[in-house]
Structure 1
């Protein structure tokens, strides 16, 4: 039997759950709550969020692929019809940047945009970046190895993913810190702790981010280079080119998705490996074992926990009747802990060979950056543990108050 934490209230009869998403005991160790939900109420109505949530692996996997659900609703119904509020003026810049986001649109627009960028992110093209990723990791470790200690997020995890995605798009390395700031502000819109100040910061950064991308677009129109932005500008799909607004939205989403989760995951992975007490040398002894280790870290401490979908028609799922326009949430990180799919799901086991994790989603909105994230993790983690064989945590790291994302505030290491 899984103990129900005192801050979690479950009524299995009505499938109602009360839980404060801002409680540090929850977001510091959400897996404990997910285990209780699996046992007592895997499909539930979260009172504070006023929404139905699904945690079962099969339900989450199916709903991610179910075309009766989508990321967009206003293409088939009006705000008035659905009772949705009007757009808020103080979010005008953010809404404009999101209007053509790959994460937020449905076919046929999604198909057109994704087709134009997909080729750059398929595994065979991404694999060519391995030597460049490895060289960057080695250089960063060279910079702090002699110190005998480091705060890994700022010295390593923050730098590698943003540098690589920026280089792919065609943005100079020295823009990395600014891109991180814009991105952190931008994704603040998706956190449970979102405040009016967070919204204003997101809107301001969306405007600055968009203005910067527009200057790059103008440069690449006049002088194309061998980069993804030039490719998106100058390649047509069925006789159509991307508009400037589409280019801006797509560039922003690629930059955000291309690094934000991976920054969290490098820290999460190092932390869970060190906490396990298992010998890292064994986990990275060859390519196949390294891949299994990385997939297990993605399963047990995913960097993004929730994907949402709109019901595009009246539909029933697991006895829940949903009307067109209802929004539901799929907890990917909980699906990764489903005891029907994973033996001892709360145990980190790098030898595990069970169902694939759902940390990157599934269906047409499967994370376009997944091959890049996987390559970065499979490349830099073995290098880190090889270069610093006595690696240990100086203190237990704290989880950031950024739910439904999952990442550490800092990760202080010594060797």
Structure 2
């Protein structure tokens, strides 16, 4: 199968070798951001457990990532040791990223995940579908009226902000800053942080938590339905007698409550935006896959269950092929070994999800987009106790958004080169102008 229009530029072999030889997450060149996969492939073949200049380790093999994900006894997700010098003691960014669900171990991780999952049950997510369909169709109506738009600004980014705003019960009139806050806070997770990113990240955490204090105070006085309102569920989790309550000694502190509300927005916003945007751009590069998907959608239009299954399979392949979140992190709690390489106690480890999801030892034709790929055990949502709590919601958003977009605009085309986000951790686009 041959690609269509060129959006992801090829990288000459000599350039691949040059970047791989001196690979450093803190000094990545522009052409790496455009297409990191050839470098990942060479590292997988030659140095799958790569010692980087700062002494940390970079893992690119699928099997090695799974082994680390599984080994919570030897590898910690707690980032206080690494983030304290990065952000500075007492900073807003430090408080946020060391209190949120993703960068913590049990028992905090267990307490918060239990409360979030209680509002993301299968039934609760199914009940979101009609509202999601209405939201997507409204965005498509606006695009159709204009005749063109931006896949990211006018479509992909608008969906998760609304869905998560609904989950937290954020009034519609208050949602305008959410995307900017999220981009700034997540941007501060990049391996190399500029003073501008740091300042914007700190101010965004401070502004968001200040807003949330007011929202939390109001919700305590006027609680929502804990079966659907995550914020109400987090608040009521403080009460051991509430449904889903945690019990005495396990209640969330004020900081834990606020920072994990920030996390819920961040975790579901950019990754879902990237899923939708990456998918629609990838279909421009792989027109045969696009044509086959459209044909399947047409043939299954009268069989809702089969159509849902086909679109779910396609969404998982988009997640594998262009993982929204490319990097994860762990710290070795004691001396141990990964992939035959000994690690010292305290060693920092970067798990390259983007590389593992292109590992030919796990995926046949790993560098080819195959929307009918079966048994697709990708790592886009992580693995083990830290697997993404919102993965079912993300899959629903991807399935509805991509499917309804293609049904409405089967002949859409990019009208200018899309602009990538220019980040190593989160892979997506800032802009992708298109016409219908």
TM-score, normalised via structure 2 length: 0.87
More displaced, 56-65 or 191-200?
A: 191-200
Select which of 255, 261, 265 maps to 1:245: 255
Separation (CA, whole Å) in 2 of partners of 1:36 and 1:353: 26
Separation (CA, whole Å) in 2 of partners of 1:5 and 1:155: 39
Is 1:211 aligned to 2:210, yes or no? Answer: yes
More displaced, 224-233 or 291-300?
A: 224-233
Select which of 2, 6, 14 maps to 2:15: 6
The equivalent of 1:88 in structure 2 is 88
The equivalent of 1:259 in structure 2 is 269
Shift in Å at residue 214 of structure 1?
Answer: 0.7
Aligned to 2:235, the other structure's residue is in SS state: helix
The equivalent of 2:69 in structure 1 is 64
More displaced, 35-44 or 149-158?
A: 35-44
Separation (CA, whole Å) in 1 of partners of 2:132 and 2:36: 31
List aligned pairs for 1:10-409, cutoff 5 A. 17=23, 21-47=27-53, 50-67=55-72, 68-72=74-78, 85=85, 88=88, 92-226=91-225, 227-235=229-237, 236-239=245-248, 240-278=250-288, 279=291, 280-282=293-295, 284=297, 285=300, 286-409=307-430
Shift in Å at residue 146 of structure 1?
Answer: 2.6
Question: What is the CA deviation profile of residues 241-271 of structure 1, one whole-angstrom value per residue up to 9, with x for unaligned ones?
Answer: 3221111011010011011111112110101
Separation (CA, whole Å) in 1 of partners of 2:410 and 2:85: 55
More displaced, 94-103 or 247-256?
A: 94-103
Contact 2:25 2:192 in 1 (8 A): no
More displaced, 130-139 or 33-42?
A: 33-42
Separation (CA, whole Å) in 1 of partners of 2:256 and 2:134: 33
CA 1:408–1:193 in 2, change beyond 3 Å: closer, same or farther? farther
Contact 1:44 1:52 in 2 (8 A): yes
Aligned to 2:91, the other structure's residue is in SS state: helix
Question: What is the CA deviation profile of residues 129-154 of structure 1, one whole-angstrom value per residue up to 9, with x for unaligned ones?
Answer: 11111110001111120322111211
Separation (CA, whole Å) in 2 of partners of 1:5 and 1:405: 26
Shift in Å at residue 3 of structure 1?
Answer: 6.7
Contact 2:327 2:424 in 1 (8 A): no
Shift in Å at residue 122 of structure 1?
Answer: 3.3
More displaced, 28-37 or 298-307?
A: 28-37
The equivalent of 2:435 in structure 1 is 414
Aligned to 1:349, the other structure's residue is in SS state: coil
Aligned to 2:428, the other structure's residue is in SS state: coil
Separation (CA, whole Å) in 1 of partners of 2:163 and 2:282: 24
CA 1:21–1:345 in 2, change beyond 3 Å: closer, same or farther? farther
Question: What is the CA deviation profile of residues 58-102 of structure 1, one whole-angstrom value per residue up to 9, with x for unaligned ones?
Answer: 11112112111011166xxxx6xx99749625x612222233210
Question: What is the CA deviation profile of residues 267-305 of structure 1, one whole-angstrom value per residue up to 9, with x for unaligned ones?
Answer: 101011121012141354422211111111101101110
Moved over 6 A (4+): none
Contact 1:53 1:328 in 2 (8 A): yes
Contact 2:317 2:376 in 1 (8 A): no
Aligned to 2:419, the other structure's residue is in SS state: coil
Separation (CA, whole Å) in 2 of partners of 1:62 and 1:3: 32
Structure 2: give runs of 5+ residues left out of the alignment.
1-10, 238-244, 301-306
Separation (CA, whole Å) in 2 of partners of 1:18 and 1:117: 36
Separation (CA, whole Å) in 2 of partners of 1:162 and 1:307: 23
Shift in Å at residue 384 of structure 1?
Answer: 0.3
More displaced, 18-27 or 211-220?
A: 18-27
Separation (CA, whole Å) in 2 of partners of 1:307 and 1:94: 18
Separation (CA, whole Å) in 2 of partners of 1:105 and 1:17: 28
More displaced, 145-154 or 373-382?
A: 145-154
Question: What is the CA deviation profile of residues 328-350 of structure 1, one whole-angstrom value per residue up to 9, with x for unaligned ones?
Answer: 01101110111111111111111
Contact 1:10 1:40 in 2 (8 A): no
Separation (CA, whole Å) in 1 of partners of 2:79 and 2:203: 26
